[in-house]
Structure 1
Amino acid sequence: MIVNFADKIVVGLAGVPITRDMRLTPEQFGLLGSSFFFLFSISAIVVGFVVNRIDTRWVVLVLALIWAVAQFPMVGEVSFATLLICRIILGAGEGPAFSVAAHAIYKWFPDHKRTLPTAILSQGSAFGVILAVPALNWIIVDHSWHYAFGALGLVGLMWAAAWLALGKEGPLVPTAAMAAAETRIPYARLLTSRTFVGCVAATFGAYWALSLGLTWFTTYIVTGLGFSQHDAGLISVTPWVFGAAMVLFTGWLSQTLMARGVSTRRARGVLGAAPLVVGGVILLSMPLLHSPAALIAALVVGAGLCGSIYVVCPPMIAEFTPVAQRGAAIAIYGALYTLAGVVAPLVMGSVVQTAANVNDGYLTGYMINGAVLIASGLLGLLLLWPNTERARLLNAAEPTALGLRKPA
């Protein structure tokens, strides 16, 4: 996940020199940010069904090789179309990454011990940015944004070699007899269950904020607030540091609450969704702030609070999903919420381009993000009931399994 998010952040980090060298409009740069997600969801769903049958070790290896190879065309002079295509290919390779990694981790930890490992896995996103931004920004400032892509390609190849040597499959894999005995839930019922829909809705808002952070945050710091590229690179780390602390705290608190007997409705559902509402209110307050420091702080805290939902939703889905269907269910969840990555950068680009001035455009874009966060958080609070979901789904499935109709 560290490599994965370093790959994601590079376009946003190099946004100003890329826009300048390629003479892009804000709408074109928004399209470039969104292009990463064009095949993201489709590949996540396809690979999600694949990992139900093939070891995650080999699936992750193939994905990592795609990430690495997709970076190298940008080392030399490149057209906008080529850059766009490479980002689409990269997105197709990275779309299934988190869901496949979570599925792999759940082969090592039982349900009551999964929240903290999920939090640590999620830290890859933060540390991918925290570790990569200083190095990539140095390459961008002192050399060229082209070489930043090449450096990521080399790192991807090195990681793939290490994974080939060290990656293993966990022991918590059901035998054929166990899989046959486990009651399967029709996907139509599983994917329309209250908690699954709540997870998608809540994480959609969080990913809206994350995709703006990946694509537009550094550009806003430079063109909106007037910082230099060097200083903006340093500032760009701050949301991820705060987000990392939030994710680890949520993982620790959730697992501690569950150990004390608190229901997963509260220890996972409420704990994950409530911070989205708070974060949305903070983003909506940005027009009331006037100093650059206050605006940056609002973005850091408002967007950083969203990290809680990534920690709790995959374990919630795993609570009520049969093991044989878990890889696909988590992948489809990821495919749906990451559609925010297609929409959010385009919306911001369109708003900035049509606004009376650049700052008004950015503030409007972040206020839209705030409204999305509040709506997503409220839906999460309403719909996330993982502690009762499995029983409800299995009770609904029994009459069908027996060839009977449920009474009216």
Structure 2
Amino acid sequence: MAAPATTASTSIKTPKGAWRITLLLFLFMLVNFADKIVVGLAGVPIMTDLKLSPEQFGLLGSSFFFLFSISAIAVGFVVNRIETRWVLLALAVIWSIAQFPMVGDVGFTTLLICRVILGAGEGPAASVALHAMYKWFPDERRGLPTALLSQGAAFGVIVAVPALNAIIVSFGWHYAFGALGLVGLLWGAAWIALGREGPLADTETTATKETPVPYTQLLLSRTFIGCVAASFSAYWALSLGLTWFTPFLIKGLGLSQQQAGLVSVLPWIFGAVVVLATGLLSQVLMARGLSTRLARGVLGSVPLVAGGLVMAMLPYGGSPAMQIALIVIGSGLSGAIYVVCPLMIGEFTPVRQRGAVMAIYGAGYTLAGIVAPIVMGKVVQNAATALDGYVQGFVINAVVLVVSGLVGLALLWPESERARLAAYRAAMPKFA
């Protein structure tokens, strides 16, 4: 059954300037993920200088997410009323300010507090950026732009890791944080000069004559719940990559800091290929008339199961090269879900409520960022050897990936949500 929103969107053209905004938002996400990766990349020097145990470093990795979800939800409701361009600018300024204290000598407490503040500033980033971009593209043309925006994350790591690692090796880990603060301010200046609010929000709302629905109808829908569950496992893998992958390479496999810096980009390169291919394939399948259940729901869930099964082979990997390959492939496949879930949520959520719903979705699945680094830290600290601990921690992630992928296959039915909510609006046109 075709939903009114989809029918209306087919008559809407992509406005001029949409791809310029997409590039700026891509760079926004690039800076966002460079900020995230720096602690994991400098993990061993930080643990050595501050004399941190694996559990303490796991807590430091998790601290980034303490206010992440709360701020994501709060700002999600704000962007329903305030233009996204000002919110995006404010977030970038917060990121920059939070980095500069680490340029000097700091203790564990100061570093932890700055990471909490940074997490509060970065929590709303992905959902606000998606909401801003969706004001420039109609629904059936959002697949590739969503994939490109997601790749700001991968390229943030691919570009930042060599540069930050060179700073860490040559000047020390403190200056890597300062460099990121300067980059954040530069993005803010570019956004002031070139950033604009998208024109399609009012056009979409008028074209579909949509009526808002109670948030319970959106947040308790099976597709929304399925998206949170499926993305939770992918973010578990991402959080381990941000915090623990470089220490695993150095302390588990015996690589040097320089070698680990080069290897650390591999999951992100492979993940970038997966995400871009998913976005393009989803858009092609939609153009050929496949249902969004297949072109989005199944396309995002199957790689989670496959990635989990690959990562579960880690104890039998044998050589370090094979173990690295299993982690790279297993975690990289999970990235497909980041493309399709925002598309499915945007598919059935009224435009005027989309910012908040996207934010709540992000707040839900990124809770994995609190759990995963702490779990890995405890497992590593209590294992017979560091390598055994890392392997056990990644196997736990493998189980989470398989389970959540199966949940996604069972629950992701976006076209059914569109039909259900259309019937609900028809029966109850007034939103109390």
Q: Is this a same-fold pair by TM over 0.5?
A: yes
8 Å CA contact 1:179–1:324 kept in 2: the answer is no
SS in 2 for 1:70: helix
Partner Cα separation in structure 1 for residue 266 and residue 317 of structure 2? 19
> Which of 238, 243, 267 is matched with 1:215 structurally?
243
SS in 2 for 1:168: coil
* 2:273 counterpart of 1:245: yes
Question: Runs (4+) of structure 1 moved beyond 6 Å?
Answer: none
Partner Cα separation in structure 2 for residue 262 and residue 176 of structure 1? 23
Q: What is the number of residues matched between the two proteins?
A: 403
> Which of 322, 331, 336 is matched with 1:308 structurally?
336
Shift of 1:360: 1.1
Shift of 1:226: 0.3
Q: Which residue of 2 aligns with 1:395?
A: 423
Shift of 1:161: 0.6
* 2:294 counterpart of 1:260: no
String of CA shifts for 1:227-283, please: whole Å, max 9, x gaps: 000000000011100000111000010000000001110000000010000000111
The residue type equivalent to 1:47 in the other structure is V
Percentage identity across aligned positions?
70
String of CA shifts for 1:178-220, please: whole Å, max 9, x gaps: 3994211110111000100010000000000000000000000
Q: Which residue of 1 aligns with 2:252?
A: 224
Partner Cα separation in structure 1 for residue 179 and residue 407 of structure 2? 41
Q: Which residue of 2 aligns with 1:168?
A: 196
> Which of 185, 200, 204 is matched with 2:228 structurally?
200
String of CA shifts for 1:271-324, please: whole Å, max 9, x gaps: 001000000011111001110000000000000001100001101001000000
> Which of 78, 82, 94 is matched with 1:50 structurally?
78
- 5+ residue gaps in structure 1? 404-408
Q: Which residue of 2 aligns with 1:377?
A: 405
> Which of 44, 47, 54 is matched with 1:19 structurally?
47
Moved more, 355-364 or 295-304: 355-364
Call closer, same or farther: CA 1:23–1:322 in 2, change over 3 Å: same
8 Å CA contact 1:240–1:304 kept in 2: the answer is yes
TM-score by length of 2: 0.91
Moved more, 387-396 or 141-150: 387-396
8 Å CA contact 2:204–2:351 kept in 1: the answer is no
8 Å CA contact 2:205–2:351 kept in 1: the answer is no
Q: Which residue of 1 aligns with 2:169?
A: 141
* 2:105 counterpart of 1:77: yes
RMSD: 1.4
Call closer, same or farther: CA 1:201–1:99 in 2, change over 3 Å: same
String of CA shifts for 1:92-144, please: whole Å, max 9, x gaps: 00000010000011001000001110000001001000100001000101111
Partner Cα separation in structure 1 for residue 207 and residue 121 of structure 2? 29
Call closer, same or farther: CA 1:276–1:123 in 2, change over 3 Å: same
Call closer, same or farther: CA 1:55–1:348 in 2, change over 3 Å: same
> Which of 47, 55, 68 is matched with 2:96 structurally?
68
Q: Which residue of 2 aligns with 1:296?
A: 324
> Which of 305, 317, 321 is matched with 2:349 structurally?
321
TM-score by length of 1: 0.97
Q: Which residue of 1 aligns with 2:65?
A: 37
The residue type equivalent to 1:339 in the other structure is L
8 Å CA contact 1:185–1:394 kept in 2: the answer is no
Shift of 1:397: 4.8
The residue type equivalent to 2:410 in the other structure is L
Partner Cα separation in structure 2 for residue 171 and residue 292 of structure 1? 51
Call closer, same or farther: CA 1:175–1:22 in 2, change over 3 Å: same
Shift of 1:401: 4.5
> Which of 271, 276, 280 is matched with 2:308 structurally?
280
8 Å CA contact 1:130–1:237 kept in 2: the answer is yes
Shift of 1:394: 3.1
SS in 1 for 2:239: helix
Call closer, same or farther: CA 1:49–1:20 in 2, change over 3 Å: same
Partner Cα separation in structure 2 for residue 288 and residue 125 of structure 1? 30
8 Å CA contact 2:211–2:430 kept in 1: the answer is no
Call closer, same or farther: CA 1:251–1:176 in 2, change over 3 Å: closer
